[in-house]
Structure 1
């Protein structure tokens, strides 16, 4: 099971330095999502990362940058759909690029043509309730089991995953887990230390068999 990280939505102190260190320590996939960034700011962000790591970056907007920087792939949602022309280019590069779709409920998953995508980003899985992290109503325990076993190696969960609940998600049928807040806003540990701790908790699939 792969552990992925999403960038902070805005600026974060020393973020580029941390991202590079995460790559150096084994991060295989970074989801680059900056809703308030212009295309030029996206370019500047990517340009600060060594080219050898560009093929580990999934971009959530300005999809044409995937070709310009030879990025790993794109993440699509119902609000961000590329043009038909983009997909013509995508079909040409599809052997080397990843295409992902984000859903926020089980109903969306049932309506989605899974064959079009390499994996599905599903969440937020957990939510905060009076300072307690609980499972999102749209992804209760039964839903999680249904999703994981119905779509083996196709699902990446995100949202509210932390040190207390990660072990319950250590499942060989999952493609992976995506982290955001727990990495960047941990009051007790640096982002790299949090990532390495999660890596130790989640063994590769072949070690769990």
Structure 2
């Protein structure tokens, strides 16, 4: 099962160092999502990440930075995806998006993968309740992009997400609630996803 880490919504001291450590420990994809931060702050963050890891970072905002930093991944929010002309997609990028309703699956065929959630009650967004019913199992159709579970996922939920037939998990709150434990939690989560 794939493991993705999503950035904490605001920058914090030592974040670049920690993200470099996560990559060194085997992180394959990091989503840079800082909705209230400006372009200059995003550039400062990217300058703090080792260049060999830039292609593994997905940009949620300031997509123009992708070319400046040789990044291969672009993320479209659900609202951006619904407003955008569907004929204009960068062919040389790995594209991701987000879903909150499984009924929208047919709208994302041009994407490589999509987040879906919140699967469980969110750690990082209090009041953001899980949307999957008990005994949920994702039914995948041929040609469907990979679906990555998001929301309320910690070490104890990874096995359950796997049983639900998701292609992977995205961690945010469980990684960043205590940055001093981020690397340790990531290593444990990675071991569970590879088991």
After superposition, give the CA deviation of every residue in 1:149-184 in whole Å (9 maximum; x if it has no partner): 346661001110012221112259532110001001
TM-score by length of 1: 0.79
**Which of 144, 154, 157 is the matching residue for 2:149?**
157
- Deviation, 1:108, is 2.7
Which of the residues 112, 133, 136 maps onto 1:118? 112
2:62 is paired with a residue whose SS is coil
- Distance in 2, matches of 1:160 and 1:114, equals 23
1:183–1:83 CA distance, 2 compared to 1 (3 A): same
Q: CA deviation at 1:66?
A: 1.5
Deviation for aligned residue 1:199: 1.4
Q: For 2:173 and 2:188, locate their aligned partners in 1 and report how far apart those are by CA, in whole Å.
A: 15
Matches within 5 A, 1:69-148: 69-81=69-81, 87=88, 90-91=90-91, 93=92, 97-109=93-105, 112-127=106-121, 136=130, 138-141=131-134, 144-145=136-137, 147-148=138-139
Q: Which residue of 1 aligns with 2:44?
A: 44
Partner of 1:121, secondary structure, is strand
Q: How far does residue 79 in structure 1 lie from its aligned partner after superposition?
A: 2.5
What is the total number of aligned residue pairs between the two structures? 190
Q: Contact (CA 8 Å) 1:4, 1:30: kept in 2 or not?
A: yes
- Give 3-state SS (helix, strand or coil) of 1:197's partner: helix
> Segments of 4+ in structure 1 off by > 4 A?
81-84
Q: Please identify which structure carries the higher helix content.
A: 1
Q: Structure 2, unaligned stretches of length 5 or more? A: none
For residues 201 and 78 of structure 1, do their structure 2 counterparts lie closer, same or farther at Cα, with a shift above 3 Å needed?
A: closer
CA contact (8 A) 2:118 2:128 kept: no
1:87 positional shift: 3.4
Cα distance in 2, alignment partners of residues 65 and 148 from structure 1: 36
Q: Please show how residues 30-41 of structure 1 align to structure 2 within 5 Å.
A: 30-41=30-41
**CA RMSD of the aligned region, Å?**
2.9
1:207 is aligned to none
